[in-house]
Every structure is written in C-alpha cells, then in structure tokens.
Structure 1
Amino acid sequence: MIAVAIVEDEESASKQLTEYINRYGKEQGEQFQVSLFSNVGSFLEPYKKVDIVFMDIIMPGLNGMDGARQMREIDPETKIVFVTNMAQYAVQGYEVDALDFVVKPVNYKDFSYKMNRVVKAVKNHRRNLLSIEIPGGIQRVCVQDILYVEVEQHTVIYHTTDGEYRVRGTMKNVEQNLQKWHFLRCNNCYLINPRHMEWVRGYELKIGEDVLQISHPRKKKFLEELADYYSMGEAE
C-alpha cells in the first residue's frame, strides 16, 4: 500500500488526480490510499507522513511551495510532485527536493509516465529501510542515515543523523544485515557507513562529529575495502 496525499484547493482538480491514481493502480496492480486536503494548513497540522504528496502551488493562504518547505523541516523523505498551471513555478521545486511536477490540465498519459518514476522512487526508498527492534516497538531507519554502528558488550548502538537507537544484539548479526550496503568494519566495536566518512588519518577516521579508532589488525583490510567502495562510485 502506497499512501498518497493530494493538497489541492480546486475540487475538480483534486477529483481528477484521485481518478488518475485509482486508474493507474488498476493498470499497474498497485494499491494506493489517497487522502485529500483543500489547503496546506490542514495537511501540515497535524502532519501525518505519506509516501507521495501531490501539492498544488497556487492556493489561498499558505502556498504549496512554502508548505513544502515547512514539510521538509520535519520530513526529508516523502516524494513531492507539484501541481501547477505555470511550469516556471516548478523550477523552484529543486529547493525542496521535489521529484517532479505536473502541469494543469493534467493529461493521463503524462501523469502515468511520471507516476512510474515516483512509484519506483518510493519502492527504492523502502528497500533501503532497516527495521530495528527497540523497547516497545519497531523503529524503521533509512540505511543511508546511519553514520556508524557501535557495539558495547551486548548492546548495539545505531548512530544516525537523527540520533541514537540502542538495542540488544551482536556485531556479527548487524554486519550480516548491513553487508549489502557496504558498511565497513574498522575495529571490533565499529561498523561504519563510508558515505558519511570525512577523512582517514593514521589509525583514526572521522564520521559525523565523531573520531573513531581503526585497529592495527584491521587497518590493511579496511583500507582495501574502502578503496573498493570508492572504485564503485559510492553508488551501489
């Protein structure tokens, strides 16, 4: 199920987008849950995270561009597609990392083509989510947001761009779970995400605001694996 929000003050445009989404879902075998909002304020307060938001730009009160800026302060992940009468407004979408835009009146063929791209982006993002069992529930963390993982006895600490998560576990299990994302072991206690590493100097490396130690026995292998990672262009 893919959650979609339509933020549009024109009832006819909102209805058309809903019909297009349902039609696309039937054609592609996808399931969508669509929520409608007639203004930015009702969409943001209270804010409920969705996978995709279709945001009209020109609306009474807070416009769609400013609404997207506010949304990005609390949600950097949701895919934004702007809906506008004038294509020149869509250029500003780069400021809020908008994925695409559609121009009114919306043509279904064009809409379907853009939906292919948006749905693919949503699925790619979901594949990069790691579920962590925390006290009282499950925390889903985007792997790209993990700086490094630290192990203290039987406690695993995920250091992320949004804070720390502590769970019971072992380095062996963590290393297996993160292997396909090319995390690297620099000593017995640390497993780092090389995309966040700033530098390596001697037996130290900096990642985020922290300086971590590289153990002597692991240094050669670590540097070889790091070189392999960079040779892949950091993309895989």
Structure 2
Amino acid sequence: MVVGYTSAFFRERGREVQIDTYGNGTGLLESGKQYDLYLLDVMMPGLNGIETAARLGKGSSPVVLITSSLEAAVDGYSVNAAGFILKPVGKKDFEATMERVVKQRLGGDDACISVVHNRVPLQLKLERIAWFENRLHRVFVTLTDGEVISIHQKLTELQEELGGYPGFLRCHQSYLVNLEQVERLEDSCFYMKDGQMIPISRNFYKQSKNAYYHHRLK
C-alpha cells in the first residue's frame, strides 16, 4: 500500500522516482545505496525503523517513520525524523505528510501547473515543459525529454494560469512556449533546443520578440 501511495504521489506531481523495497533495515544498510528519501516502518524485523535511521546518520537524506504508536514517534525525534505516518496508513494523511516533507527537504516548491491527462490530474513541473500546442481540437504538451501528452485544458486557460510566469509566452494562436527552451529567434519562428520550429504569428510577433530578448537579458 505504501509503495503504491508513494509511486502515485510522485507520478501525479510530474516527478520521476525509483522505488526500492527492503524487508528489514539490515538489508537496506547492507545494500550500500544512498536514497533521496527513506520511508521506514518502525516495526521492521531485526533492526527496527528508528535503529535503522540512527545508523543512516543524522546527515542522511530525510527519513519518514511509519508507526502505529505515537510513543514511537517521540523516539523518532532522536534520529531527526522528517515526518511520521500513523498506521493504518490512509492516503489523505500520507499525502499531507509527504507534501510537507518533500517541500521542506526535497525542493518540492518547484513551480508546477495542474493538468488533466487521460482523466487523471497531474502536477507538471514548469521546467519540464517545452511548449503547448493546440491541434485537432486538443492541447498537446511537449516535454523536454520529447514525450508528448494530451490534456483537457484549453490554450487560453493555460495562458491565464501561467500569467504569473513570464517565461511562458503565447506566440501564436496555436502555441504557448517556454522561453527557457528556445534556442534562438529567427525570421518569424522560434527554434527550440530540440531542433523543432515553432511559428510566431504576425499578431504576436512584436510582443514575442520583446519578451524573448527581455528573457535573454535576465
């Protein structure tokens, strides 16, 4: 259950994650692997979660303890636990703790936009977005890794939502681009870092040119 919650938590926020599981603390420690975040059950066989966290050291990545006892949570402060999740683990409480820990300890405050893909709400980090394209009565998002996903919002809605981020520019009736992903401006086109060409329409050209050079001078 916890593995499923963890996978869904990061996936829905547009963050790639690799999850490894261990049956006990000894197996984790003997693996020699370093992780960005540890979710440790206090009642693991052998070395319990608190003992495992102690051996990881206070300078390690954040540790979240999963426990059925508030008393164990008190002990968790001795190993500088970043958070606690009480059993039985509920999705709402799990996400609330993870939101806080990720924001405080893993830079989870990166700017994101909420989108709906295949009826599933996602949080896309803005830095992952290259451009939005309105095509065939749908909006498609091209990501910096080349992946393309379709979403349900309209381009005008996205433009309004991104109004507080000057790095995103409406340059055409059908395109909204991330200026961080623009390689150069040439004629009436933006040439993107991946080699693709995004047209700039006449109605948007002046503001696009000004926004591009202003962005480059930042």
Cα deviation, residue 193, structure 1? 0.5
Any gaps of 5 or more consecutive residues in structure 2?
Answer: 7-18, 39-52, 64-76, 84-99
Q: Find the residue that maps to 1:180 and give its secondary structure.
A: coil
Cα deviation, residue 206, structure 1? 2.0
- Paired AA for residue 207 in structure 1: M
Question: In the alignment, which residue of structure 1 is the partner of 2:45?
Answer: none
Q: Find the residue that maps to 2:29 and give its secondary structure.
A: coil
* CA spacing shift, 1:59–1:109, aligned 2, 3 Å: closer
Question: In the alignment, which residue of structure 2 is the partner of 1:207?
Answer: 192
Structure number with the higher helix fraction is 1
Question: In the alignment, which residue of structure 2 is the partner of 1:59?
Answer: 29
Of 149, 172, 181, the match for 1:165: 149
Answer yes or no: is the 8 Å Cα contact 2:58–2:80 preserved in 1.
no
Deviations 1:140-162 (A, max 9, x none): 21121111000125211111135
Cα deviation, residue 189, structure 1? 1.1
Cα deviation, residue 197, structure 1? 1.4
Cα deviation, residue 119, structure 1? 3.9
Question: In the alignment, which residue of structure 2 is the partner of 1:226?
Answer: 212
2:115 counterpart of 1:132:
yes
Count residues with an aligned counterpart. Answer: 156
Question: In the alignment, which residue of structure 1 is the partner of 2:125?
Answer: 142
For 1:217 and 1:171, locate their aligned partners in 2 and report how far apart those are by CA, in whole Å.
Answer: 16
Any gaps of 5 or more consecutive residues in structure 1?
Answer: 6-39, 46-55, 69-78, 91-99, 103-107
- Paired AA for residue 166 in structure 1: S
Q: How does 1:183-194 map to 2 (within 5 A)?
A: 183-194=168-179
Answer yes or no: is the 8 Å Cα contact 1:154–1:169 preserved in 2.
no
Question: In the alignment, which residue of structure 2 is the partner of 1:176?
Answer: 160
- Paired AA for residue 190 in structure 2: L
Question: In the alignment, which residue of structure 1 is the partner of 2:48?
Answer: none
2:28 counterpart of 1:42:
no
Answer yes or no: is the 8 Å Cα contact 1:150–1:189 preserved in 2.
yes
Q: Find the residue that maps to 2:163 and give its secondary structure.
A: helix
Report percent identity of matched pairs.
Answer: 15
- Paired AA for residue 160 in structure 2: Q
Question: In the alignment, which residue of structure 1 is the partner of 2:134?
Answer: 151
Cα deviation, residue 138, structure 1? 1.7
